[in-house]
Structure 1
Amino acid sequence: MWMESSVRSGASKFKQLRHFTALTLLALGLAACAGAPLRPAQKTVGTAQPLATLVVATPDADHDVMAQLLAGEMALSHTDLKTASDHYGKAMALSNDPEVAERAAGLAIAVRDDAAAQRALDRWQALGAKPAGMAQARAELALNHGDADEARRQLELLTASGDKDAWRQFGRVLVGARDQAQAARLLEALATPQRLPGEAQAWLAMSELGDKFGRHAYAMQIADAAVQRFKSAETYAWAAQMKFKDGDRAGARLLLQKALAKAPKNTQLRLAYAGLLSQAGDYTGASRLLEQGPQNADTYAMRAGLAARDKNDKALAALYQEMQKAPPDVRTASAYLLGQLAEMQHRDAEALAWYEQVGDDDAHAFDADLHSAMLLHSQGKRADAHQMLEQMQMSYLDQPAQLRQAWQLDAELYLREQNYAKAEAAFSHALQVVPDDPGLLYNRGLTYADAGQIDLAVQDFQHLLKIKPGDVDASNALGYTLADANRDLPEAERLISVARAAKPDDPAIADSWGWLQYRMGNLDQAAQTLRGAWLARKDADVGVHLGEVLWKQGHTQDAQRVFDEVRKLDPHSSSLQQTLKRLHP
C-alpha cells in the first residue's frame, strides 16, 4: 500500500529500530565523549614509559550516549516502550544528532509522556528538524490530546510543506489516531480534490483511508475524481472496487474494462474482472478472459475453479497438460493444484509426486499431506499411510483443527480395513481434541455398532441427541442400531418415525424402517419398504437387508438375484458374508 499499511500501533511502530546502524551508534558515542563529564584519571606510581601513562577517560553510563542508545534498543526488542523512551530521552540530551531527538519525540508521544514529548520536540526543532517531520509529530501529539484544531493546523502545515512524503505522513498520522471518528473528519476536511497532489497514488490512498474509516461516500467521491483526473488503470480499478462494494456491478465491470484497456497484460486486473464475470454467472466469459495474457499460479487456480464449477472435465484435463509446461516457479507455486488435477484424472502416482513438492510453508501443506495419506492407502500402502498420519498428529499437536482432521482420517482408513479397534481409538483421540463434536460422536457410534459393541454405540448416539435434540441422523442411527440388535423395538420405532417424518424420501431412513419391520415380524411391509429403498439407491447394505427378507418370505431366487447384485457392488461386503452364513448354516 502507498502508505506502507499506514501507521502501526505504538508498540509495533518502535518494536524494531532500523534507522540507526551499528556504525551510526558508534559515531554518535565517540562524538559525545569529548563533551561528557569524565571519570578522574588514576595516579600512576613510579617511573613509567610515556605510553603507559596515557589514560583514556570514559564516561559513566548516564553520560554515555552509546550506552543510552543501546539500552533503548534493548528495551525496544522487549517492546518496553516506556524504558526505551527514557533512554532515548537521555541520549537526546547528550547528542547533537536531530535523528536521535526525532526518535525520542516519537517514543514519548507513543507512551503519552507529554512533558518528555515537548522537550524532545523542542530539542529536535533546535537541531534543525524538517518542517514536515515536525508538523507530523505535533499533529500526533495534538490528536493524543483530542485537540482537533491544533491537529488540523499541523496537518495543514504538513501537507503544504512540499515534502515528497507529506501525504504519506498525513495518512500515517490519521491511521494512528486513537479517535478514528475525529481522524475521519480531518481526512474529509483536508484531503480534498482541490488540495491533493498531482500523484494518483495519493488520491487512491486517501480514498482507501476513507473507506477504512467507514466514509464510503467520501471514498467514492475521491475515487471518481481520481478517474477523471488521471484516467489510469489503477484509478479505474480502484473506482471499480468502490462501485462493486456499492452494489453497482455493471458500473464496476465497465470500469474494469477500461482498466484492462489501459493495461491489458495486468494479471491482477484480469483476475478482478474474471471474478466479477464469475459472480454474474458468466463462467465461460471469465475462463476465456483468464486464458488470455500471461499466466501465473493465481490465474491457473481461478481457471481450475471455474472449470470445476462448470463440471468441465475436458477443460480440467487440458489445464493440467498446460500447467505442466509452465515455468518452474509457477509449477512449484501450483504444486497442490497440480496434485488435485492429477488426482481427479486418477493419475495417483503423479498426484503423489506433486503433493510431495508442496513446501512446508505453503498454505496447502496440510491438505497435501492428507491427500497423500489417502492415495497411499488406496494403493495398498496402508502402513505408509498410517505412518504419515502419525507424523502429522505429532506435527500439529498445537493446532486443534488440523489435529482433529488427522485423527479422523486415520480412523476412516482403519474403518476401510475393518480394523474397528484402531478406528475407535482414533475417533476417541479426535474427541479428546474436540470434545462432544457431533460428527465425531456420530462416526464413533457407527464404528462401535459395526464392531458389535452395541452398548457403547447406543451411549454415543444418546449423548449426541442430548447435544442436538431431535437430530435426524442421530435419531435414525440410534433407532437402526436398536432394531439391528433386536432390542427396545418400541423406542427404535419412535426414533425412526421421527427421522421418517423429517426426511420421508431418504433411502437410508427407509432402510432403517424396513429393517425394523423385519425385526417386528412384518415381512410384507419390510419387503415393500426395502424394495423401494433399493430401487432409490443401490446400496450394498440395503440390498443385503432386502435379500434376507425375501429369503425369509421363501422367495429364494429373488433373494439370490439381489445378493448377486450386492456382490457386484461390493465384492468384499462383510454384511453379505455374515448374512449368507446365517441363511446357509
Structure 2
Amino acid sequence: MAGYDRNRQVVWRNSVLSGTVKFKQVRQYVAVGLVALGVAGCASLPNRAGETPASSPQPLARMTVATPDLDHDLLAQLMAGELALSSADLKAASQAYGKAMRISNDPEVAGKATALAIAIHDPNAANQAIGRWQALGASPAQLAQARAELAVEQGQTEEAKRQLSLLLASGDKDAWRMFGRVLIGSRDAALASSLLQSLATPDRLPPDPKAWLAMSELGEQLGRHAYAQQLADGAMKRFGTAETYAWAAQLKLNNGDRTGGLNLLKQAQVKDPTNIGLRLTYASVLGQSGDYAQAAKMLEKGPQNAQTYAMRAALAASAKDNKSLEQVYKQLSQAPDNVRTASAYLLGQLAEVLGRKEEALKWYDQVPDDDDHAFDADLRTAILLQDLGRSAEAHQQLAEMQTDYLDQPAQLRRAYEVDADLYLREKRYTEATDAFSHALQVVPDDPDLLYGRGLAYAEIGKIDQAVADFRRLLQIKPDDIDASNALGFTLADAGRDLPEAEKLIAAARAAKPDDPSIADSWGWLQYRLGHLDQAAQVLRGAWQNGKDADVGVHLGEVLWKQGHHEQAQQVFDEVRRMDPHNSTLQQTLKRLEP
C-alpha cells in the first residue's frame, strides 16, 4: 500500500489529527531590552551649545537603570528554554518556560509551558500553566485539550472523557483534530482506544469524510480493527468518495482479504480515474498478486508522473517484458523536463537494460547532485566507462568520488570497493589490493573487503597475505562458506596445509554440494593429494555444469597428468575459445609444455 500512503490525504500530517507543532520557536522577545536601551540613551544627552556644565550632578546622572535578575528576565528564560529544547532536555525547557510564563502576557508562552509540563509528567506545573494560560485568554478548546491530555496522562478516565466532550462541544473548527492528538499521544493505548470508541461514534462525528477516516485510522493504529472497519464502511456508505473506498480497501487488505480489497480499490479508481495515488496503489496490489499485465495496462492510462513511470518499469522488469520496457523508456525520455529530471536515474537504468550504454551515460550525467540516486549514478557511470573500454576514465571517476565522499564512510567504502572490483576485472591485481586496502582503512575487518583482497593477493602470489585475510574473515564469520572454500583452495593450490584445506573444502562442499566452484576446489585438492582419477571425475562434472575457464584448465592439467593428452588439448582449446587471454591457461601450458 506504499504508493497510496504517500499520496492520499488520509495521513496524520494532513488529517484532522495534525496541527501546528507544539514547540514552535519564539524568535524575539526584546521589549525589555529596548526599554533599557532607551533609558540609558537619555542619560548621555549632550549640553546645549554655550552652556557651562553645572557643578551639581544632574538628576539623570544619578538615575540607576534597573536590570532584572535572571529569573525575571523574559528574554533570558525564553532563550534558556529554546536551548534546552535543542538539546532535548525537556525538564530544563519546562522549568525555563514555567518562569517565562509568569512574567509574560503572551498566551503562546503559557501554552508552551503547559505542553512541556505535561510532556515531563509534572501535573502540578501543568495545572499552574493551564491556569496562567486561561488567565491570558486561551480558548475553551485549547484548555479542554490540555486538561484532557493531563487526565489521560494520570489515568483519570472520567475526567478525560469530560474534557474531551467539552472539546468536541466547543465548536472549534479543529476540535476533532485536537481530540485525535490527545489520544495518539497517550502512553495508555487501552485508555485511548476506550475513549475513542465511546466518544468518536458515528452519531457524533461531523459530516466530514476526513474526520471519519482519521478516527478509523486511529482505531486501526490502536488495535481496534472492528471499530476501524465500522467507521470505514460507514464513511464509504455515507460519503461514497474514492478516498473512503480506498481506505476501506486498505483495511481489507490488512486483514488478508485480497479479493475484497482489490474490488474496493477498483471501485475507488473508477470514481477518481485521474488520481495517481489510487492508480499506483491498485497497480501495486495487482503486481503483488503477479498480475503484471493488468497492473501495467491500468497504469498506462491517465496522467503520468515519475512514480507511474517507475512502477511501470518495475512491472515490466518483473514480467521480463522488454517490449514494455522499451515503451516506458521511449515515453519517459519524451516526458516533460521536470519528469525527466526526476527520472534521470531510472532512464539510465532502462538504457542499460536495453543495451544502450552510451545513452545510459548521458542520463546518469543528468542526475541532479541532490538526488537520492546521485551516488549510485556516479558508480554506474564508472562501471559503464570500463564496459566501453574507457578504463582510465572509469578509475578517474572513482578517484574523484573518493575525494568527494571523504567525509561519508559508507559511500567512500563503496567507491573504493568498486574501484577494486574494476581492477580485478582488468586483472590488475596489485592495484586491486591497494584499493581494497584503502577501503579496509575506512571499514576495518569488513568481510566482503577482506574476501576481495584475499582473492587479489592470491592472484599475484602473495599467499601469506591471502591466507591471513581469509583466516581473519573466518574469525569474523566462522560459517562463511565462500571464505572456507577460498582459503581451502588457496592452501591446496599452494600445496601447503593440505589436511586443513581438505577440512575446509569438505565443509563448504557439504553446505553447497552443487556449487561448481567448490567442486573445482575439491577436485584440485584431490589432484594435489595425488588422487588423479577422483580429481578427474570431480572436475569433469564441474566443467560440464559450469564451463568455467579456470575449471577447464584444472581438468585439462589432470587429464594431461593421466596421459590423456588429446583429451586435455581439447579442453584447453575450448578454454582458449572462451577466454583467449586466460593467464591460468598460459601458465599451465608453459609448465606442461616447456
TM-score w.r.t. the length of structure 2 is: 0.86
> Structure 2 unaligned runs (5+)?
1-10, 52-57
| CA–CA separation in structure 1 for the residues paired with 2:462 and 2:526 | 23
Aligned residues of 1:482 and 1:488 also touching (Cα < 8 A): yes
1:562 and 2:577 correspond? no
Amino acid at match of 2:213: L
Of 325, 328, 331, which residue of structure 2 is paired with 1:319?
328
| CA–CA separation in structure 1 for the residues paired with 2:327 and 2:172 | 54
In structure 2, the partner of 1:350 is: 359
Cα distance change of structure 1 residues 101 and 521 upon mapping to structure 2, 3 Å threshold: closer
| CA–CA separation in structure 2 for the residues paired with 1:217 and 1:127 | 43
Q: Deviations over 1:336-384 (max 9, x none)?
A: 1111111122222221221122223322222212211211222333333
Aligned residues of 1:33 and 1:58 also touching (Cα < 8 A): no
In structure 2, the partner of 1:269 is: 278
Of 173, 179, 194, which residue of structure 1 is paired with 2:188?
179
Aligned residues of 1:158 and 1:166 also touching (Cα < 8 A): yes
In structure 2, the partner of 1:138 is: 147
Q: CA deviation at 1:273?
A: 0.9
Cα distance change of structure 1 residues 67 and 222 upon mapping to structure 2, 3 Å threshold: same
Cα distance change of structure 1 residues 298 and 566 upon mapping to structure 2, 3 Å threshold: same
Cα distance change of structure 1 residues 549 and 71 upon mapping to structure 2, 3 Å threshold: closer
In structure 1, the partner of 2:170 is: 161
Aligned residues of 1:408 and 1:426 also touching (Cα < 8 A): yes
1:224 and 2:254 correspond? no
Of 169, 194, 217, which residue of structure 2 is paired with 1:208?
217
Q: Deviations over 1:198-252 (max 9, x none)?
A: 1111111112122222332322222222212211111111111111110110111
| CA–CA separation in structure 2 for the residues paired with 1:48 and 1:210 | 80
Of 478, 493, 505, which residue of structure 1 is paired with 2:487?
478
Aligned residues of 1:6 and 1:175 also touching (Cα < 8 A): no
| CA–CA separation in structure 2 for the residues paired with 1:97 and 1:582 | 92
Cα distance change of structure 1 residues 458 and 198 upon mapping to structure 2, 3 Å threshold: same
Of 183, 188, 191, which residue of structure 1 is paired with 2:197?
188
| CA–CA separation in structure 2 for the residues paired with 1:179 and 1:398 | 43
1:147 and 2:156 correspond? yes
Kindly tell me the number of residue pairs found equivalent between the two proteins: 573
Q: CA deviation at 1:21?
A: 7.0
Amino acid at match of 1:361: D
With a CA cutoff of 8 Å and minimum separation of 6, indicate the structure with the bigger relative contact order. Answer: 2
1:440 and 2:431 correspond? no
Cα distance change of structure 1 residues 380 and 152 upon mapping to structure 2, 3 Å threshold: same
Aligned residues of 1:544 and 1:576 also touching (Cα < 8 A): yes
Amino acid at match of 2:200: A
| CA–CA separation in structure 1 for the residues paired with 2:247 and 2:81 | 42
Of 245, 257, 278, which residue of structure 1 is paired with 2:254?
245
Structural mapping, 1:39-54, within 5 Å: none
Aligned with 1:192: secondary structure? Answer: coil
Of 366, 380, 391, which residue of structure 2 is paired with 1:371?
380
Aligned residues of 1:479 and 1:492 also touching (Cα < 8 A): yes
Of 516, 539, 559, which residue of structure 2 is paired with 1:530?
539
Aligned with 1:152: secondary structure? Answer: helix
Amino acid at match of 1:189: S
| CA–CA separation in structure 1 for the residues paired with 2:512 and 2:224 | 49
1:109 and 2:106 correspond? no
Aligned with 2:144: secondary structure? Answer: helix
| CA–CA separation in structure 2 for the residues paired with 1:266 and 1:61 | 60
Q: Deviations over 1:288-337 (max 9, x none)?
A: 11111111111111111111111122221221111101111111111111
Moved more, 396-405 or 209-218: 396-405
Amino acid at match of 2:378: D
Aligned residues of 2:536 and 2:559 also touching (Cα < 8 A): yes
Of 387, 396, 402, which residue of structure 2 is paired with 1:387?
396
Amino acid at match of 2:179: F
Amino acid at match of 1:224: D
TM-score w.r.t. the length of structure 1 is: 0.87
| CA–CA separation in structure 2 for the residues paired with 1:397 and 1:13 | 38
> Structure 1 unaligned runs (5+)?
none
Cα distance change of structure 1 residues 478 and 3 upon mapping to structure 2, 3 Å threshold: closer
In structure 2, the partner of 1:298 is: 307
User: What RMSD, in angstroms, separates the aligned Cα atoms of the two structures?
Assistant: 3.6
| CA–CA separation in structure 2 for the residues paired with 1:68 and 1:474 | 61
| CA–CA separation in structure 2 for the residues paired with 1:407 and 1:196 | 59
Moved more, 409-418 or 426-435: 426-435
| CA–CA separation in structure 2 for the residues paired with 1:48 and 1:84 | 53
Aligned residues of 2:509 and 2:519 also touching (Cα < 8 A): yes
Cα distance change of structure 1 residues 115 and 45 upon mapping to structure 2, 3 Å threshold: farther
In structure 2, the partner of 1:420 is: 429
Of 503, 508, 525, which residue of structure 2 is paired with 1:499?
508
Cα distance change of structure 1 residues 172 and 57 upon mapping to structure 2, 3 Å threshold: farther
In structure 1, the partner of 2:4 is: none
